[in-house]
Structure 1
Amino acid sequence: MRQPPGFPGDTLLFGALVLLIGSIVRIGASIYLPAMPLIGEELRISPAQMSNTLTVYFVVFASFILVAGMLSDAYGRKPVLMTGMAFFIAGSALCATAEGYEALMAGRAIQAFGASMIPGTLMAMARDACSDLRVVTLMGWLAVLGGLFLVAAPVIGGFLTHAFGWSANFWFLALFTAVVFAATLLKIPETHAAGRRTPFHFGDTARRLGAMLASPGFSLVLGPVIAFFAIQGAFLAAAPYIVMERYGLGPVAFGLSNVVIVVGLFAGRWAGARLLKRAGDTGVYRLGAAASAAVALLFSLLGIGVLSGLWIFLGIVGIFAGVFGATAPVGMKASITAFRSQSGIAAALQGMLLMGASALGSLAVGVAMKHLGLEAQSAFALFSALLCLVAAATAFVSEPA
C-alpha cells in the first residue's frame, strides 16, 4: 500500500480525540432508550410517537451527511466538525427542556443535523492525516466503541433516569459534547489544506457521486459493510423485544447482555489486524466472505427455531460481531481510499449509505413483525441470514485496496 509522505495523525492524542469525537454519535443514539417509557408517560407521548424520535434521527442524519462531506471537501474538515458538535449540543439542550412531543422531535432533528456532520468528516480527517494501517485501526476501534456503547449507554441512561430523571440523559450528552468540542478546538489541526480543497459545484458533485457509485472500488467493496450495518439496524429494532420480552431481562440486564457484542468486536478487530498484516485487504475480505456464509447458516437455524435460547441468540450475535469487527474496517477504509483526493465526499456518501442501511434494517424487522406475523427473533434472524449471504457474495468478488 503506497502512502503519501508524513502522517501527522499517527499520534496517540490524535487517535484518542478521533475516538472521543466519534463516540458522540454512538452514545447519543442509544443513551435515552431506557428513558423512553418515562418520557412518554410524563410528556403524554404514545409509544408509536416515541418511536418517531428514532425515525426522525435516522432520516435527518442520512439526509444531511452527504452535504457535510461536500462542505468539508470545499471548506476544510475542522469548521464542519465544530459546527456539527455545536448543533448537537443545542439539540440535546432542546430535548432536555422539551415539554411536549413537538419540542422533543425538533430537538432530535437538530441533534441529528449536528451528528450528520461528524462521522464522514471524521473519517475524511483520519484519511487525510493517517497511514493506511492507522486508518484501519481507528475505524476498527470506532466499530468497537459502537458495540461498547450498546452496553454502556443504556446502563448509563438507566442510572441517570433513575437518579435524576429522563432529562439528565440529554444534559449528559450536551456536557460531554461540550468537553469534546473544547478539546477539538484546542488540539485538532485542520487536516485538509486549502490547496487541496474542491470547490462545491452541484453538477460536478453529482458527477463525482455517480462515479463513486459506479465504481466497484467503492460500491462493491462497501457491499459487505452495508449488509452488516443493515443487520445492526435490525438488531437495534428487535433486540429489546427478544431479550426483554422473550427472555425476560430488565433494561440494565439488557444493556449488560450486549457485552457479547463488545467481546466479538474486540476479538474480530484483533484477528482482522493480524490477518491484515499477513494477507492484506483482499485476504481479510476472502476470509470474511467464508465467515459471513457460516454466520448466515447459524442465523437461519435460529430463525426457523432449530436453535433457540438466550445464550444461543447472544452467542450467534457475538460471532457476527466478530466478523463485523474483522471485515468492516477494511471495506470502510478501502472505499474511501479509492477516491483519496475526494475523501470528504466519499466518506459522506459512505456514511449516508451505512446509516440508510441501518434505517432500512430496523424498518424491515418492524414490517416483518407487524405485517408478516413473525416474532422478533425469527424476523431478525431470517433477515440477518439473507444479508450475511449478500455480504459473503460481495466480499468474495470485490478487490479492496
Structure 2
Amino acid sequence: MTIENIDSDKLILARKPFSIFARISVLAALAAVGSFATNILLPSLPSMARDLNVSTAAVSSTISVYLAVFAVGQLIVGPLSDRYGRWKPVMFGLGIFVLGSLWCEFSTTLPMMLVGRTIQALGACAASVLSRAIARDLLSGEELTRALAFIMVAMAAAPGFSPLIGGLLDTTTGWRSEFLVVGLFGATVAFAYFRCVGETHRPDGNVSIQLTAILRGYWGLLTDRRFIAPAGTLGLFMGALFAMFSVSPRVLIDGLGFSPIQLGLFFATTVLAVFASGMAGPRLAIRFGQARATIMGLVIAVIGGVLLFSAHWAQHSLWTYLGPIMVFLTGFGMVNPLATATALQPFGDRAGLASALLGFLQMAGAAVGVVLTASITSATLAIGIVQVALTMLGLILYLTGQRAVPAR
C-alpha cells in the first residue's frame, strides 16, 4: 500500500509533486523535534547554572520537567488527533514549541526557564506522537516498517547529534543560542509539513474525547498483548538508552577526562550503529519474519548489556565502554522500528491513541532508566546493571507476547 492508493478525500494537501519519500523525510524531522530539544542542553548545564545563579543539579530539572510534560502531553494529543485530524494538532503544536523555545532563550531565572520548557514540551509532544500516527495513516505492512525505520532512526539520531551541536554553540555563541536553533528547526519543520504532508486522517466525530472513553481506550490497549508486548519492550529499551545518555557524562567527563565537545563526538559516533541496524532491520524482517528479526535485535541488545556489566571489572577505557555500547545500540536500532510497527499495525483506526500510549511508555521507560542509574554511586556499575535488567525484561516481555500472537 502506498500513498497513491489512499482515498483522495483523506488527504487535504497530498500534492503530486511531493513523493512518499519526501513526506516520510518530513515525518522523520517531525519525530526528531522533541529529542533534539532534550539533549542539546547537556553540554551547557554548567554554564546555564552559572548564568541563572543556581546549581547544576537544579538546572538539570529543566530536562526532567520537559520529559514529564512531554510524556503526559502525548496521552492528550493522541485521542484529539483521532477525533479532529492530524494537521491542526501538528501545526498548533509546532507553533507552541517555537514560542516555548523563544521564551527559554530570554529567560533570566530558573522558574522562567521551567515555564518555557513546559510550553516547549507541550508543543513537541504533538510532533513526536503524530509522526508515528501519520506514518500509520499513510502506509501498512512492509512499507510501514521501512518508513518507521527511517523515522525511528531520526528520532534516535537526534539525541546523538544534538549534544555535539549544543557543545559547539555553547563554546561559540553561548547556551541561549541553542534555544534559537531548536526554535528555527521547529519552524522549518512546520513549513515543510504544511507544504509536503497536510492532513492524513479524516476527522471522525464518532471518536469520543470524554475522559472515560479515552481511559477505556488506553486500558484496552494495555490489556491487548498485540500492543503491550512490543510497546512495553520499547519502553524498557528506551530506559536502557536514556540510562546510557544520563551516565555517559559521569563515565567520560568525570572518569576519563573528556571535554563537552568530545562527549558530543562520542554521542554522534554511537548514532552510526543505530542508523546501520535501523536500516537493516526491515530487510531482516522480510527475510526472517518480523518477530524473528525483532528477537534477533533483542538478543544482540542483551549481549551488549552483559558486556557492559562485565566491563565494570575491567580496566576502564574508552574502548571497554564504547564497544558494549555499540553492541547494545545495534540491537536497539533493529528493535525500535520493528517493535513500533508491530505495536501500531493492528490499530489503524486508533493510530493516534496507540501512538500516544506507545510514546508515553517510552518516556516513562526513559525516566525509569535515568532514576535507576542515578541511584547507584558507581557510574559503570550503574549502567551495567540497568542495561542488563531492562534489556532482559524486554526480551522476556516480547517472547511472552509472541505466545499469543501468530508469528509474522
TM-score range, shorter chain: over 0.9
> Does residue 1:362 correspond to 2:370, yes or no?
yes
Residue 3 of structure 1: CA displacement?
9.2
The 1-side partners of 2:267 and 2:144 are apart by: 26
The percentage of counterpart residues that share the same residue type is 25
The 2-side partners of 1:226 and 1:157 are apart by: 26
Residue 197 of structure 1: CA displacement?
6.2
> Does residue 1:137 correspond to 2:143, yes or no?
no
The 2-side partners of 1:394 and 1:90 are apart by: 40
Q: Which residue identity does 1:333 align to in structure 2?
A: A
Following superposition of structure 1 onto structure 2, how do residues 236-247 of structure 1 map, counting pairs within 5 Å?
236-247=245-256
Q: Among residues 120, 125, 142, which one is paired with 2:134 in the alignment?
A: 125
Following superposition of structure 1 onto structure 2, how do residues 339-378 of structure 1 map, counting pairs within 5 Å?
339-369=347-377, 375-378=378-381
Q: Secondary structure at the match of 1:161?
A: helix
Q: Residue 267 of structure 2 aligns with which residue?
A: 258
Residue 175 of structure 1: CA displacement?
1.4
8 A contact 2:52–2:108 mirrored in 1: yes
Q: Among residues 313, 318, 332, which one is paired with 1:324 in the alignment?
A: 332
Residue 192 of structure 1: CA displacement?
0.5
Q: Which residue identity does 1:376 align to in structure 2?
A: A
Bigger Cα displacement from structure 2, 223-232 vs 150-159? 150-159
> Does residue 1:83 correspond to 2:107, yes or no?
no
**Which deviations, in whole Å up to 9, do the C-alpha atoms of 1:310-333 show, x marking residues without a partner?**
112111111111101111211111
The 1-side partners of 2:305 and 2:169 are apart by: 38
> Does residue 1:48 correspond to 2:57, yes or no?
yes
Q: Which residue identity does 1:272 align to in structure 2?
A: G
Q: Residue 287 of structure 2 aligns with which residue?
A: 278
Following superposition of structure 1 onto structure 2, how do residues 99-114 of structure 1 map, counting pairs within 5 Å?
99-114=108-123
The 2-side partners of 1:3 and 1:167 are apart by: 42
Q: Secondary structure at the match of 1:315?
A: helix
Could you tell me which runs of 5 or more consecutive residues in structure 2 were left unpaired when the two chains were aligned: none
> Does residue 1:392 correspond to 2:407, yes or no?
no
Following superposition of structure 1 onto structure 2, how do residues 1-400 of structure 1 map, counting pairs within 5 Å?
6=5, 11-195=20-204, 198-303=207-312, 305-306=313-314, 308-369=316-377, 375-399=378-402
Distance 1:91 1:192, change over 3 A: same
Distance 1:266 1:307, change over 3 A: farther
Residue 147 of structure 1: CA displacement?
4.0
Moved over 6 A (4+): 2-5
Distance 1:82 1:3, change over 3 A: closer
The 2-side partners of 1:173 and 1:5 are apart by: 33
Could you tell me which runs of 5 or more consecutive residues in structure 1 were left unpaired when the two chains were aligned: 370-374
Q: Secondary structure at the match of 2:126?
A: coil
Residue 309 of structure 1: CA displacement?
2.1
- Count of aligned residue pairs for this structure pair: 394
Bigger Cα displacement from structure 2, 203-212 vs 135-144? 135-144
Distance 1:243 1:147, change over 3 A: farther
8 A contact 2:239–2:365 mirrored in 1: yes
